[in-house]
Structure 1
Amino acid sequence: MKHPYQRFFQLQVLMMILTVIFGIISLVKGSMLLALLTCFTLALSFAFEGMVEFKKQNTFPFAQQLLRAVIIIIFVSFLYFK
């Protein structure tokens, strides 16, 4: 029997793996675009973790993770496009 939040957990793990891969590549190549993509995948990882907490009916951890994701997206976008 699959848990109702198993898909979100799998997406969270996928985003963490992509974050590590993109982070290593951006450090090696020195690409700002890949660094931006790294931060966005990290934010998506936090968002998916928040969705898992939402499915578990834990509203405070859900709000924390979603707020982290939004802050990362706003802050990194501001730094990149400024």
Structure 2
Amino acid sequence: MKHPYKKFVQFQFISMIAAISFAAIALIYGSLLIALFSAFALSLSFLFEGLIEWKKHNHVQFGHQLVRALIVLTIVSYLYFN
């Protein structure tokens, strides 16, 4: 039987790997733009984790993950663009 959240788990894993990869590249090359992409990928990972919780009908954890993703997006965008 196919796992009902398999796609969300795969997308979460891919976005975490992307965040780690972008962070390593940003550290090596000292690029703020790539660091911004790393933070966006991390936020995406939080969002997919929240969607998994939403599908499990755990709405409080979904809210936590959504707020976490929005905080990361907001703070990193503010720091990058100012």
Residue in 2 aligned with 1:13?
13
Q: Which runs of 5+ in 2 are unaligned?
A: none
Question: How far is 1:6 from its partner?
Answer: 1.1
| RMSD of aligned Cα (Å) | 0.6
When normalised by structure 1's length, the TM-score is: 0.97
Structure 1 segment 1-82 matched on structure 2, within 5 A: 1-82=1-82
Aligned residues: 82
- Gaps in structure 1 of 5+ consecutive residues: none
Identity in percent: 50
Amino acid at match of 2:59: T
Q: Structure 1 segments of 4 or more deviating over 6 A?
A: none
| CA distance, structure 1, for counterparts of residue 25 and residue 13 of structure 2 | 19
Distance 2:70 2:15 in 1: 16
Structure 2 residue identity aligned to 1:66: L
Instruction: Kindly provide the CA deviation profile for residues 14-72 of structure 1, in whole angstroms up to 9, marking residues without a partner as x.
Output: 00001111100000000000000000000000000000000000001100001000110
